[in-house]
Structure 1
Amino acid sequence: MKTIMKYELVINEALRSALNYDTPDEQINEFIGFFGKHIGSDRIYIFEDCEERHATDNTYEWCADGIIPAIDELQKVDMDIIDWWYETFARGESVIITDVEELKEEHRTSYEMLRAQNVKNVVVCPLYYKDEIRGFFGVDNPPRSDYRALTSFLDMIGTLLTSLLKMRNSFRKANKLAKLSSYSALSKIYESMYYINVQTGRYHIVKISSQFDRYMETAVRKVGKYEIWDDFCGHIRRIADKICIEPYLEETLEFINLGTVEKRLHRKTSIIHEFIDKRRCWCRSRFIPVDYDEEGRLLHVLYCIESIDEEKKRENRLLYLAQTDLMTGLCNRGSGERRIVEFLQDRTGGLLCLLDCDKFKAVNDTYGHTVGDDVIIAVAESLQKSCRENDILLRLGGDEFAIFMPGMLEQSSAEKFFERLFENIGQIAIPEMQGKRVEISLGACFYDGAENISFDQLYRNADKAMYESKKKQGYSATIYSDL
Structure 2
Amino acid sequence: MANENCEILFDYLRSILYDSTPTQIDVHSLDEDFQKLGMGLQFLDHAINELKQCSTALAKGNLSEFNPSRDNFLCDNLKNIHANLEHLTWQAKQVAKGDYSQHVSYMGDFSNSFNQMTEQLKEREEHLKSEAELEKKHAETVNKYNQLLLELIRQSNDDVLITNIDQSTILYSSHNKVRVEQENEILYYFYKNINNPCEWNMKDKDNRYYHIVTINMEWQDKPSFAHFIHDITQEKKEWDRLHQQAHIDALTQVGNRYYFQDEMQQFLNCKTTATLCYCDLDHLKYVNDNYGHDKGDTYICDFVEILKSNIREDDIIARLGGDEFCILFINGSIDSINQKMEFINEEFSKQVVDYPQSFSYGTIYINGNEDTSLLNILQIADQRMYALKRKRKMTT
Q: TM-score, normalised by structure 2?
A: 0.61
Aligned to 1:461: 380
Give the match for residue 416 of structure 1: 339
Give the fraction of aligned pairs with identical amino acids, expressed as a percent. Answer: 21
Residues 189 and 306 in structure 1, CA contact (< 8 A), matched pair in contact too: no
Give the alignment of 1:122-133 within 5 angstroms: 123-124=119-120
**AA at the equivalent of 1:275:** K
> Counterpart of 1:271 in structure 2: which amino acid?
E
The C-alpha deviation readout for 1:62-109, integer Å capped at 9, x for no partner, is: xxxxxxxxxxxxxxxxxxxxxxx996555453397989x959xxxxxx
Query: What's 1:309 paired with?
Result: 233
Q: Per the alignment, do residues 275 and 200 of structure 1 end up closer, same or farther by CA in structure 2, a change over 3 Å counting?
A: closer
Indicate which of 186, 191, 197 corresponds to 1:253. Answer: 191
Using the TM superposition, give the Cα deviation of residue 392 of structure 1 relative to its aligned residue in structure 2, in angstroms: 1.9
Answer whether contact 2:153 2:159 (CA < 8 A) is retained: no
Alignment of 1:260-279 (within 5 A): 264-265=196-197, 271-277=199-205, 279=206
Secondary structure in 2 matching 1:441: strand
Which residue of structure 1 lines up, in the alignment, with residue 276 of structure 2? Answer: 352
RMSD of the alignment, in Å?
4.5
User: Is the helix fraction higher in 1 or 2?
Assistant: 2
> Could you tell me which of 111, 134, 137 is aligned with 2:126?
137
Q: 1:426 and 2:349 equivalent?
A: yes
- 1:66-465 aligned at under 5 Å gives the runs 89-94=95-100, 123-124=119-120, 136-137=125-126, 169-170=136-137, 172-194=139-161, 205=172, 207-209=174-176, 212=179, 239-240=183-184, 244=185, 251-254=189-192, 257=195, 264-265=196-197, 271-277=199-205, 279-288=206-215, 302-411=226-335, 413-426=336-349, 428=351, 435-449=354-368, 451-465=370-384
Q: Which string of whole-angstrom CA distances, capped at 9 and with x for unpartnered residues, describes residues 369-396 of structure 1? A: 2222222222122222222222221111
Cα-to-partner distance string for 1:117-151 (whole Å, 9 max, x where unaligned) = xx975514579xxxxxxx8226xxxxxxxxxxxxx
Distance 2:351 2:92 in 1: 99
Unpaired segments ≥5 residues, structure 1: 1-84, 104-110, 112-118, 128-134, 139-157, 216-235, 258-263, 477-483
For the pair shown, which has the larger CA radius of gyration, 1 or 2?
A: 2
The one-letter code matched in structure 2 to 1:136 is: E
1:471 equivalent among 373, 390, 395: 390
- 1: distance between equivalents of 2:315 and 2:254? 11
Please say if residues 184 and 206 of structure 1, whose CA atoms lie closer than 8 Å, have aligned partners that are also in contact: no
Contact 1:345 1:452 in 2 (8 A): no
Partner AA of 1:272 in structure 2: W
Q: Distance in 1 between matches of 2:167 and 2:389?
A: 75
- Contact 2:100–2:118 (Cα < 8 Å) also in 1: no
Deviations 1:399-420 (A, max 9, x none): 1001121332241x12331233
Paired letter, 1:437: P
CA distance in 2, matches of 1:193, 1:210: 10
Q: Residues of 1 paired with 2:375 and 2:92: CA distance?
A: 83
- Tell me: CA distance 1:202–1:458, structure 2 relative to 1, closer, same or farther (3 Å): closer
SS in 1 for 2:251: coil
- Give the aligned partner of residue 60 of structure 2: none
Q: Which amino acid aligns with 2:250?
A: L
- Which protein has the bigger strand share? 1
Question: How many equivalent residue pairs?
Answer: 301
The separation in 2 between residues aligned to 1:334 and 1:211, in whole angstroms, is 36
Change (3 A) 1:188 1:302: farther
Counterpart position of 2:31: none
C-alpha distance in 1 between matches for 2:141 and 2:368: 68
The Cα shift of 1:276 comes to 0.9
- Uncovered stretches (5+) of structure 2, i.e. residues with no partner: 1-90
**SS of residue paired to 1:364:** helix
Amino acid of the structure 2 residue aligned with 1:326: A
TM, length-normalised to structure 1 = 0.51
Change (3 A) 1:255 1:386: closer
Paired with 2:384 and 2:192, the residues of 1 have a C-alpha distance of 54
